[in-house]
């Protein structure tokens, strides 16, 4: 019994625990990096503290190759862990079993993968217990029950505390402290042992040469087997997987493991051989696996021996705690939660924690009991068998990210085949003793057990791989499997599909989630909204999809893939399966914008092209909106954002009906209309009218719709100004005629007024007053007519009203007669008579009378100017369904062919220079278009061999 060493060991254990607490409380970023690597280092458990010295004695330098292989997974983590880590950012796997279940789908996968992991890690549990048992035997005499009970109680206490405060973080600190203690123990033990036994390193080197140990350790006979088994096991070791893909580990920290972890393993393996040789030199009776504390104790260094013993206690406890909790989580996620009615559980978190503790406790206690029957076994053997078992999960893991053709059936059959062989040939013989079988016809029996461990470990792995490939090749894969296989591929970027949700608001989602999750639904939704920076008012389909994805991710981390899938299917089902929906283009854009620099080769070039096209679209001076089949906005370019004041991020993913007014009405009305383009649509923005032209067209490769908006306000205002100017010019032309027209009644009034001065009879005075009134009425009519015409502020502000076409035409004729060059009354009457108005006074169209007057004045004026011989100009009309066709026909010179195609363009005229501005027909065209009508000119005139007919088409008034 070595009470001093025991006391010192427990002192160091206490110091390690204190160190763990201090690092977790006061540690900065630097210590967090160290924490990660030390925790990974301690994840190997008692292998480095005990097993490697035994392995070094048994396999020489092959041990180094095995340990190096164990670190290779981190050196090449960009090929293995990073792809899973990237997928984990979206799906968030709780464990390796969850990842495999997600990839291969189905409860059977979860059940078998979880069972395999539990069975394969049992030897690792036993190895830790054996290391502790061996330590107990060295430190204390007598029965080890008390020690075993103390250790189990400690583990249960740590597990309970870890579950209470957060498993991952809490255990990581304990493991880091254990790793630090182990590294110190190995280095110091080797140093003091070499100094005490050889007198120095030089002397040890000489002893190594003299004793022939140099040649002994150089043997590499088992190197290949050890290399492959350690390498394969490192992929599937739960501690490695959970730490590297943990979301609390930053990408940079994960990158540090590529060199820091191999460095720590190197530092830990350097003392192994000096310790081994020290023990061999003094011919220690202790087993090789006890050298870490036995040799310093033999060299009279109880402090160092205590340190070694403490490091073994701490790493063994740390690994037992973390492994038991990880396995408990896997059992819960794979076996219990998928069958549990979660909404019936009042306090789900507490229920989960309680079950985690119970399951982990059962695992620990079972293994402690099992440990009683393996006393005297080698820790190295337990690790070799355990690693060979863990290696069975590696083919499936690698297939998940590199081989999309491996099917669920292939994975399951391969795993069962490999695991069965491993169980029969290695695991069971290790526990219950080797056995052999004489195959019929064979010369020698097959021996199952550690004697042929290399053969059986390889055979089991080979059976697994061959069966997986064979079954996958012969059998097929359903659509779901193919979809998830593609999703997990190493070069895949996860893009959520543009799925149709069955809920239209966050509140609906919450209410539905409550049915399966109870009160936990509120917590989950609140958390997700907080993370996404959204709120309960959100109704945009794209945002709701993001919320659903985030909920799925959060639930997967809490309850595992199976339970989360069930909850989502029951509470938030999709209207159509995700794989039938197109990818969310907006999400592709977002993902490529973030991860574009990962692309290489042609993908990178294509991405540059994408960025260029995106910039072109964004910077086009016209607004572009792309709409999905469901009416969801997929693209909202920066010009559109400028026009509307609605940010692209807010609009993208929303429905048109979610847009604020007036855009919602304007766009929705245009989308509902049959027409593909609309010009000069007036929209009130901040109290000012803007005019937009809209166009729409369907995308050829999808059902998406593209909407183009162009601000035509400047153009419309210019046109409006030109129309006003043209009208004012007309007013100017009319002014002389008006003055003359007013002059006649004024003269009449003056004469009557002179007569009135001498009139005394009441009857005559009244008669004169009537005459004056009639003359003033005439003046009023003329002035009012001019005023009406000169008012131009209403152009493009359409308030269509029932208008009598005949009244408007007659008013135009009246005004035109004022501008007649012949200013005598007779001439004016003749001018009026030139226009033959055949319009029905009862016919009314929906129009603006002032703009219509201007149209008539221009057209009649052109007709009159073209009719030099005073030939009649006929104004007639005919119904054309719901529209009225107005025809203005003259017998003039007709239209010259040279300008036939450009009649409605500005500054195009057939008149002599100085006779016309060339704006008349352009103004008419714009006014008619603005009034919702159409105009065309044809020459010769209808039913004639000369002249011109102007054909106007307007909507009849509904009444």
Partner 1 sequence: MLNYRLVAVLIFLSSVVVPLASRWAIEPQGSWFRPFVVWALIVFAAYILQRHRKIDES
Chain positions contacting partner 1, by CB under 8 A: 61, 64, 68, 75-76, 78-79, 82-83, 86, 205, 208, 213-215, 217-218, 220, 251-252, 254-256, 258-259, 262-263, 266, 269-270, 273, 490-491, 595, 597-601, 603
Residue-by-residue DSSP string for 462-498: HHHHHHHHHHHHHS---HHHHHHHHHHSTT-----B-
CB of 44 to partner 1, least distance (A): 16
Those residues whose C-beta lies under 8 Å from the C-beta of residue 137, and which sit 6 or more positions away, are 144
Q: With respect to partner 1, which residue has the nearer C-beta, 135 or 217?
A: 217
Q: With respect to partner 1, which residue has the nearer C-beta, 375 or 598?
A: 598
Token pair recorded at residue 336? 């219990």
Distance CA 894, CA 583 (A): 61
Distance CA 424, CA 385 (A): 12
Distance CA 550, CA 544 (A): 10
Q: With respect to partner 1, which residue has the nearer C-beta, 50 or 213?
A: 213
CB of 97 to partner 1, least distance (A): 23
CB of 242 to partner 1, least distance (A): 18
Q: With respect to partner 1, which residue has the nearer C-beta, 595 or 619?
A: 595
CB of 215 to partner 1, least distance (A): 6
CB of 266 to partner 1, least distance (A): 5
Q: With respect to partner 1, which residue has the nearer C-beta, 333 or 400?
A: 400
CB of 204 to partner 1, least distance (A): 9
CB of 257 to partner 1, least distance (A): 9
Those residues whose C-beta lies under 8 Å from the C-beta of residue 536, and which sit 6 or more positions away, are 505, 506, 507, 510, 529
Distance CA 604, CA 899 (A): 54
Cα R_g (the chain), whole angstroms = 47
Neighbours of 642 (CB within 10 A): 12
Contact 626, 498 (CB under 8 A): no
CB of 89 to partner 1, least distance (A): 11
Q: Among residues 937, 815, 807, which one has the least CA distance to residue 866?
A: 937
Q: With respect to partner 1, which residue has the nearer C-beta, 146 or 266?
A: 266
Q: With respect to partner 1, which residue has the nearer C-beta, 91 or 130?
A: 91
Cis peptide before 50 (omega within 30 of 0): no
Those residues whose C-beta lies under 8 Å from the C-beta of residue 25, and which sit 6 or more positions away, are none
Q: With respect to partner 1, which residue has the nearer C-beta, 84 or 182?
A: 84
Cβ burial of 957 (10 Å; 0-12, 13-18, 19+) is middle
Token pair recorded at residue 220? 């590499």
Token pair recorded at residue 885? 């066709």
CB of 217 to partner 1, least distance (A): 7
Q: With respect to partner 1, which residue has the nearer C-beta, 177 or 260?
A: 260
CB of 128 to partner 1, least distance (A): 26
Q: Among residues 100, 17, 92, 78, which one has the least CA distance to residue 248?
A: 92
Cis peptide before 423 (omega within 30 of 0): no
Q: With respect to partner 1, which residue has the nearer C-beta, 106 or 255?
A: 255
Contact 181, 16 (CB under 8 A): yes
CB of 600 to partner 1, least distance (A): 5
Contact 208, 277 (CB under 8 A): yes
Q: How far is CA 184 from CA 176, 190, 293, 310, 934, in A?
A: 12, 10, 13, 11, 94
Q: With respect to partner 1, which residue has the nearer C-beta, 134 or 607?
A: 607
Contact 952, 886 (CB under 8 A): yes
Q: Give start and end residues of each alpha helix (H) in 372-427.
A: 379-390, 394-402, 408-422
Residue-by-residue DSSP string for 699-744: -SSSS-EEEEEEE-HHHHHHHHHHHHHHHHHHHHHHHHHHHHHHHH
Q: With respect to partner 1, which residue has the nearer C-beta, 80 or 683?
A: 80
Cis peptide before 305 (omega within 30 of 0): no
Q: With respect to partner 1, which residue has the nearer C-beta, 214 or 375?
A: 214
Cβ burial of 441 (10 Å; 0-12, 13-18, 19+) is exposed
CB of 302 to partner 1, least distance (A): 29
Residue-by-residue DSSP string for 784-819: HHHHHHH--TTTT----EEEEHHHHHHHHHHHHHHT
CB of 244 to partner 1, least distance (A): 12
Q: With respect to partner 1, which residue has the nearer C-beta, 599 or 843?
A: 599
Tokens 């009225």 correspond to: 884
CB of 251 to partner 1, least distance (A): 4
Q: With respect to partner 1, which residue has the nearer C-beta, 219 or 797?
A: 219
CB of 469 to partner 1, least distance (A): 21
Token pair recorded at residue 534? 């959204």
CB of 213 to partner 1, least distance (A): 8
Contact 668, 678 (CB under 8 A): no
CB of 66 to partner 1, least distance (A): 12
Q: With respect to partner 1, which residue has the nearer C-beta, 64 or 471?
A: 64
Neighbours of 914 (CB within 10 A): 6
Q: With respect to partner 1, which residue has the nearer C-beta, 83 or 496?
A: 83
Distance CA 163, CA 150 (A): 20
Distance CA 642, CA 644 (A): 6
Distance CA 873, CA 835 (A): 5
Q: With respect to partner 1, which residue has the nearer C-beta, 252 or 758?
A: 252
E strand intervals along 526-652: 623-627, 633-636
CB of 216 to partner 1, least distance (A): 10
Phi, psi of 695 (to 5 degrees): -140, 150
Q: How many CA atoms lie within 13 A of 313 on its CB side?
A: 30
């Amino acid at each position: 019994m070595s009470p001093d060493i025991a006391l010192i060991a427990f002192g160091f254990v206490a110091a390690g625990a204190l160190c763990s607490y201090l690092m977790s409380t006061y540690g900065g970023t630097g210590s967090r990096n160290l924490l990660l690597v030390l925790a990974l280092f301690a994840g190997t458990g008692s292998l480095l503290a005990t097993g490697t010295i035994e392995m070094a004695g048994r396999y020489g330098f092959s041990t180094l190759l095995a340990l190096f292989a164990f670190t290779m997974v981190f050196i090449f983590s960009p090929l293995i862990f990073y792809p899973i880590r990237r997928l984990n950012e979206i799906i968030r796997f709780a464990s390796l079993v969850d990842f495999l279940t997600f990839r291969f789908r189905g409860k059977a996968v979860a059940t078998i993968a979880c069972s395999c992991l539990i069975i394969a890690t049992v030897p690792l549990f036993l190895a830790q217990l054996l290391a502790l048992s061996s330590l107990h035997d060295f430190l204390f005499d007598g029965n080890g029950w008390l020690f075993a009970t103390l250790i189990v109680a400690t583990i249960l206490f740590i597990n309970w505390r870890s579950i209470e405060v957060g498993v991952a973080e809490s255990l990581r600190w304990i493991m880091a402290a254990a790793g630090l203690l182990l590294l110190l123990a190995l280095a110091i033990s080797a140093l003091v042992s070499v100094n005490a036994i050889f007198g120095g390193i030089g002397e040890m080197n000489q002893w190594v040469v003299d004793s022939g140990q140099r040649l002994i350790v150089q043997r590499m006979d088992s190197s290949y087997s050890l290399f492959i088994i350690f390498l394969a096991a490192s992929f599937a070791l739960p501690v490695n997987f959970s730490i590297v893909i943990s979301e609390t580990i930053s990408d940079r920290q994960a990158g540090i493991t590529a060199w820091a972890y191999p460095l720590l393993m190197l530092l830990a393996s350097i003392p192994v051989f000096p310790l081994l040789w020290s023990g061999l030199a003094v011919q220690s009776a202790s087993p090789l696996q006890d050298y870490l504390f036995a040799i310093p104790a033999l060299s009279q260094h109880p402090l160092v021996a205590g340190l070694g013993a403490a490091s073994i206690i701490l790493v063994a406890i740390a690994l037992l705690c973390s492994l038991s909790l990880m396995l408990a989580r896997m059992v819960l996620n794979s076996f219990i939660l998928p069958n549990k009615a979660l909404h019936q559980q009042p306090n789900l978190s507490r229920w989960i924690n309680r079950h985690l503790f119970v399951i982990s406790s059962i695992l620990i206690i079972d293994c402690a009991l099992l440990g009683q029957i393996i006393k005297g076994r080698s820790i190295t053997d337990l690790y070799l068998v355990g690693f060979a078992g863990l290696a069975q999960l590696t083919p499936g893991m690698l297939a998940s990210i590199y081989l999309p053709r491996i099917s669920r059936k292939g994975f399951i059959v391969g795993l069962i085949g490999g695991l069965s062989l491993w169980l029969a040939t290695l695991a069971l013989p290790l526990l219950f003793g080797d056995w052999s079988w004489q195959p019929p016809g064979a010369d020698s029996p097959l021996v199952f057990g550690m004697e042929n461990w290399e053969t059986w470990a390889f055979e089991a792995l080979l059976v697994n791989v061959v069966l997986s490939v064979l079954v996958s090749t012969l059998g097929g894969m359903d659509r779901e499997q193919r979809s998830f296989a593609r999703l997990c591929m190493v070069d895949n970027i996860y893009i959520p599909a543009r799925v149709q949700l069955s809920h239209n608001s966050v509140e609906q989602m919450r209410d539905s989630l409550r049915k399966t999750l109870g009160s936990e639904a509120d917590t989950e939704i609140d958390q997700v909204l907080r993370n996404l920076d959204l709120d309960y008012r959100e109704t945009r389909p794209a945002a709701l999809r993001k919320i659903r994805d985030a909920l799925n991710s959060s639930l997967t981390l809490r309850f595992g893939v199976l339970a989360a899938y069930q909850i989502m299917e029951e509470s938030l089902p999709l209207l159509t399966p995700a794989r039938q929906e197109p990818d969310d283009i907006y999400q592709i854009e977002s993902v490529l914008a973030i991860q574009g620099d990962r692309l290489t080769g042609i993908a990178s070039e294509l991405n540059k092209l994408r960025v260029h096209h995106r910039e072109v679209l964004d910077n086009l001076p016209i607004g572009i909106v792309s709409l999905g089949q469901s009416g969801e906005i997929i693209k909202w370019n920066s010009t559109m954002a400028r026009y509307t004041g609605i940010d692209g991020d807010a609009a993208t993913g929303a429905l048109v009906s979610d847009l604020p007014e007036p855009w919602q009405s304007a766009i929705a009305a245009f989308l509902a209309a049959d027409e593909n383009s609309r010009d000069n649509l007036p929209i009130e923005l901040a109290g000012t009218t803007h005019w937009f032209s809209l166009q729409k067209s369907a995308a050829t490769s999808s059902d998406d719709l593209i909407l183009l908006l162009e601000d035509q306000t400047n153009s419309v205002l210019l046109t409006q100004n030109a129309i006003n100017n043209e009208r004012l010019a007309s007013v100017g032309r009319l002014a002389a005629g008006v003055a003359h027209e007013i002059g006649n009644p004024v003269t009449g009034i003056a004469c009557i007024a002179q007569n009135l001065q001498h009139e005394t009879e009441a009857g005559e005075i009244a008669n004169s007053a009537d005459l004056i009134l009639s003359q003033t009425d005439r003046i009023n009519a003329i002035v009012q007519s001019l005023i009406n015409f000169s008012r131009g502020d209403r152009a493009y502000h359409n308030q269509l009203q029932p208008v009598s076409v005949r009244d408007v035409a007659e008013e135009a004729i009246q005004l035109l007669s004022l501008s007649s060059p012949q200013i005598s009354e007779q001439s004016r009457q003749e001018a009026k008579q030139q226009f033959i108005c055949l319009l029905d006074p009862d016919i009314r169209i929906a129009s603006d009378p002032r703009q219509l007057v201007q149209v008539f004045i221009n057209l009649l004026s052109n007709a009159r100017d073209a009719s030099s011989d005073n030939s009649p100009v006929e104004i007639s009309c005919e119904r054309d369904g719901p529209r009225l066709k107005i025809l203005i026909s003259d017998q003039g010179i007709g239209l010259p062919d040279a300008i036939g195609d450009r009649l409605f363009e500005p500054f195009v005229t057939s008149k002599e220079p100085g006779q016309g501005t060339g704006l008349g027909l352009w103004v008419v065209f714009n006014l008619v278009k603005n009034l919702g009508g159409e105009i065309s000119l044809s020459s010769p005139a209808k039913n004639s061999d000369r002249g011109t007919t102007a054909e106007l088409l307007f909507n009849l008034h509904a009444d």
